[in-house]
Amino acid sequence: MSTSRKPLIAFDQSAYSAGTTHAEALRNTLQLAQHCERLGYHRFWVSEHHNNPAIVGSAPEILLGALTALTSRIRLGAAGILLPFYAPFKVAEQFNVLEALAPGRVDLGLGRSPGGDGNAFRALNPGGDGDRLKFEQKIRELCAWLNKDIPGNDDKLAGLKTLPHNPGKPQPWLLVTSVAGARSAGELGLPMCFNYSAEQSAGISEAAFDAYRAAFRPGAFGEAPYAAMMAWALAADTEEEARRLFASRGRWRTRLDDGVREPLEPPETALAYAYTAQQRERIELQLERNFVGTADDVMRKLHRLADNAGADEIGVTAWTYALQDRLRSFELLAQAHQMCTLP
């Protein structure tokens, strides 16, 4: 078992808590990024979701623009831009602007999930779909633009340039939850981030990492396989406190199962709810895929998970009702990461 400390990624989804405002949720993300930079995290990534009252980060490229001015060392990125909805040329321009503002610090995570419910998908992509082959073609086009090439040597695009030009370029990543997605990342020659906590990822993490490495083809954005393991991880000073804080997410999950999309509720409200036996079982199932407890215990599990799959970096994300609890969780995990040794 490796005892090396892997770089840490902090990932935030701008969770929205009942009784606050959407603006507060977004400003909380900015505050968390500055906090994570001080704590020594290697990357800070933000997400793209639509029409989800619990997650209000709908425009990661704009949040990242603010973060370029509020940070100075930490790498910044999207996890991710939902490329099926957008023209690769425009995405390349947006991230070239970010690269100009934060040279050498910009990651461009790419995903093809719907990013919301069916209505949001139709509004963002009328008449479109999430076909994997079309998605991969868009990635190749985007990478060409980022590399200052003309996609497919298309004569009709001769003379077209994505501006601004910079000495460096953003680093694309592919975000995956399946073996097929991991294989695509390898074939495209991109770093991969695997979402361990996604329900569709259950039981396939090691197979996905193996498929990625076997399929990898060196390219302009990666000379060798490089991959991160992302997990939902919440730490507190005691296991009991961590479980109490997790109640907000557990309650949100059971409501989502009933088709109810609402903000996070306070832990006390969530704990007071009269759950059915099926709902309690659902929450316990969540705890099997989410890491909740003391920081030492959570970090040991994360390192073991990453080592078993051969991940190069560890990513963590968490929702809490109160910002201070989220700040404390990321702080505790960073401290435990510095002290972590494995058998």
Q: What is the DSSP string of 106-130?
A: EEEEEE-S--S-HHHHHHHSTT---
> Does residue 333 form part of some domain?
yes
Q: What is the mean pLDDT of the chain?
A: 93
Q: What is the pLDDT of residue 2?
A: 43
Note if the bond before 293 is cis, omega within 30 degrees: no
> Does residue 248 form part of some domain?
no
Domain assignment of residue 16, given as a range: 8-235+294-339
Number of domains in the chain: 1
Q: Tell which phi-psi region holds residue 118, choosing left (phi > 0), alpha (psi between -120 and 50) or beta.
A: alpha
Q: What is the pLDDT of residue 205?
A: 97
Q: In the block, which residue shows the tokens 């490495």? A: 213
pLDDT tens, 71-106?
A: 999 999 999 999 999 999 999 999 999 999 999 999
**Cβ atoms 49, 58 nearer than 8 A:** yes
Given a cut of 50, whether residue 343 has pLDDT beyond it is: no
Taking the C-alpha atoms of residue 254 and residue 71, their distance in angstroms, rounded to an integer, is 37
> Does residue 250 form part of some domain?
no
> Does residue 289 form part of some domain?
no
> Does residue 114 form part of some domain?
yes
Quote the pTM value. Answer: 0.95
- Per-residue b/e over 201-222, b at no fewer than 16 CB within 10 Å? beebbeebbebbbebbeeeebb
Residue 156 vs residues 146, 151, 153, 159, 169: alpha-carbon distances, Å: 18, 10, 9, 9, 24
Element (H, E) at 151: none
pLDDT tens, 112-138?
A: 887 777 778 777 876 666 677 889 999
Higher pLDDT, 98 or 152: 98
**Cβ atoms 164, 96 nearer than 8 A:** yes
> Does residue 138 form part of some domain?
yes
Higher pLDDT, 337 or 121: 337
Task: Please state, for a pLDDT cut of 90, what percent of the chain lies above it.
Answer: 82
> Where residue 219 sits, what CATH number does that domain have?
3.20.20.30
DSSP character for 4? P
> Does residue 73 form part of some domain?
yes
**Cβ atoms 7, 49 nearer than 8 A:** no
pLDDT tens, 297-324?
A: 999 999 999 999 999 999 999 999 999 9
Dmax (CA) of the chain: 65
Given a cut of 80, whether residue 234 has pLDDT beyond it is: yes
Q: What is the pLDDT of residue 1?
A: 36
pLDDT tens, 249-284?
A: 999 999 999 888 899 999 999 999 999 999 999 999
> Does residue 303 form part of some domain?
yes
Note if the bond before 170 is cis, omega within 30 degrees: no
**Cβ atoms 250, 54 nearer than 8 A:** no
Q: In the block, which residue shows the tokens 């100075």? A: 72
| Cross-strand pairs, 218 | none
Q: Which two tokens stand for residue 337?
A: 């990461």
Q: What is the pLDDT of residue 139?
A: 97
| Cross-strand pairs, 173 | 109
Angle between helices 88-101 and 60-70 (to 10 degrees): 10
